[in-house]
Amino acid sequence: MKVLHVFDHSVPIQDGYAYRSLNILRAQAALGWQTRQLTSIKQGARPALCETFEGMSFERTPLPDAAWTRLPLADQAAVVTSLGARLDELIERERPDVLHAHSPPLVGLAAVRAGRRHRLPVVYEIRAFWEDAAVDKGACREGDLRYRLTRALETYVVTHADAVTCICEGLRGDLLARGLPKDKVTVIPNAVEPEQFSLNEAYDESLAGGLGLVRGATLGFVGSFYAYEGLRLLVSALPAVIAARPDARLLLVGGGNDDAALRADVAALGLSGHVVFTGRVPHDEVERYYDLIDVLVYPRLAMRLTELVTPLKPLEAMVQRRLVVASDVGGHRELIEDGETGLLFKAGSAEDLARTVLRLLGDEALAARLRQNGRAFVENERTWTRSVARYPAVYERALARARR
């Protein structure tokens, strides 16, 4: 089986999208499959048309020279046309059995068109609905013209692809509501490989001292500061936690759109002595900061994006036997069993967030059970080996449908 994967972008860019892509490729290579990889112009300017990472070749799509391609809407069309041209080249050279395109829908559209031209089956994978992410970033409003056009494009792609995968049940339910047959949509969930994460917590006393932290009651978040992550809610819940646990601290590792608003909230609430901002830290340094955190908090707000999409961070925390408190949005409920692998609080409620954190900080037996069960859940249900094992049936269905 030779699969040509078509990505929006890939490593060496470091984000959740690139991380999922890389782990899929690793696991498929372990199965003995041949894969080829192509990225769109969203990868950015690159001097070479091919780059190698971990022994895998990533074909790139060159940026168009024409100035018109940088105009609004024209830049979106340029993604599709340039990717289509590169697909024609690679299909002729590599002769893949299957095209596997990964969202956003512009990538899927280019693949569907190329599949028709070359009579190849197309699998389209959805990691999130791009229109919902755009709402949170302020690029559009739910239901406006851009939102509806993006949604219509995605519906067109999934209708014309030979098979569809998505990362969670929330997304699958939305696709089925659009009229897709149940046997056309398969969930390939996000996962982690346990051996990639150390279980040997090494509390760095020097780093902790420099940040003003002590063991026992440090809450933390590691990631990007987007509005939907609910970090401002976490800050607003902190005074209630401090009232019961004066030693409580909040460690925020990362940065993003909500950084300035978070800092303003901390100052307004007089919490500067209890909240530590590290800014973004190098990837190879992140684990040192994880080891300082007693409870990882994921306070995502309730909205379409968070109700439908599962995040990766809680899995990374659980596989390291770390304690997890999260809001009860749909994406979290797919990952966390309340009271067994983590604790859930009512989304949007600072009061319930504070109560839940204090419950966990005050119950060592509960904490021990959550650590053990969280690790077991990931090992038994959410490894990349188990997730990628679902692809052969998807590819076979796509091949069978293309032969009709």
- Cβ burial of 183 (10 Å; 0-12, 13-18, 19+) is exposed
Q: For residue 154, give both structure tokens.
A: 């995605």
What is d(CA 60, CA 39) in angstroms, rounded to the nearest whole number?
5
The per-residue pLDDT for 195 is 86
- 8 Å CB contact between 294 and 316: no
The per-residue pLDDT for 69 is 67
What is d(CA 2, CA 34) in angstroms, rounded to the nearest whole number?
5
What is d(CA 304, CA 331) in angstroms, rounded to the nearest whole number?
10
The per-residue pLDDT for 306 is 95
CA distances from 249 to 104, 246, 354, 393 (A): 38, 8, 13, 48
The model's pLDDT over 292-342, given as tens digits with 9 standing for 90+, comes to 999 999 999 999 999 999 999 999 999 999 999 999 999 999 999 999 999
Q: For residue 20, give both structure tokens.
A: 């999922």
Closest CA to 30 of 399, 397, 386: 386
Question: ω before 282 within 30° of 0 (cis)?
Answer: no
Mean pLDDT of the chain: 94
Domain spanning 194-381, CATH architecture: 3-Layer(aba) Sandwich (3.40)
Domains of the chain by residue range: 2-191+384-403, 194-381
The model's pLDDT over 248-286, given as tens digits with 9 standing for 90+, comes to 999 999 999 999 999 999 999 999 999 999 999 987 888
Q: For residue 178, give both structure tokens.
A: 């659009």
Is residue 198 pLDDT above 90, yes or no? Answer: no
Is residue 43 pLDDT above 90, yes or no? Answer: yes
The model's pLDDT over 157-171, given as tens digits with 9 standing for 90+, comes to 999 999 999 999 999
The per-residue pLDDT for 68 is 67
- Considering Cα of 143, then 145, then 151, then 156, what sign does the dihedral take? positive
Is residue 76 pLDDT above 80, yes or no? Answer: yes
Q: For residue 307, give both structure tokens.
A: 């109700």
The per-residue pLDDT for 94 is 97
What is d(CA 48, CA 62) in angstroms, rounded to the nearest whole number?
9
- 8 Å CB contact between 312 and 15: no
Residues in the chain: 404
**Phi then psi dihedrals of residue 138, to 5 deg:** 85, 10
- Tell me the mean pLDDT in the region 49-69: 88
Q: Regarding beta strands 56-59 and 50-53, do their DSSP bridges make them parallel or antiparallel, or are they unpaired?
A: antiparallel
The model's pLDDT over 5-22, given as tens digits with 9 standing for 90+, comes to 999 999 999 888 999 999
Read off the amino acid at residue 225: F
Closest CA to 329 of 348, 311, 307: 307
- Same fold flag, 2-191+384-403 and 194-381: yes
What is d(CA 294, CA 200) in angstroms, rounded to the nearest whole number?
14
CATH of 2-191+384-403, one of 1.10.645.10, 3.40.50.2000, 3.40.47.10, 3.40.1350.10: 3.40.50.2000
Q: Which neighbouring-strand residues pair with 320?
A: none
pTM here is 0.90
What is d(CA 159, CA 400) in angstroms, rounded to the nearest whole number?
16
- 8 Å CB contact between 121 and 112: no
- Cβ burial of 335 (10 Å; 0-12, 13-18, 19+) is buried
The per-residue pLDDT for 394 is 97
Between 285 and 186, the higher pLDDT residue: 186
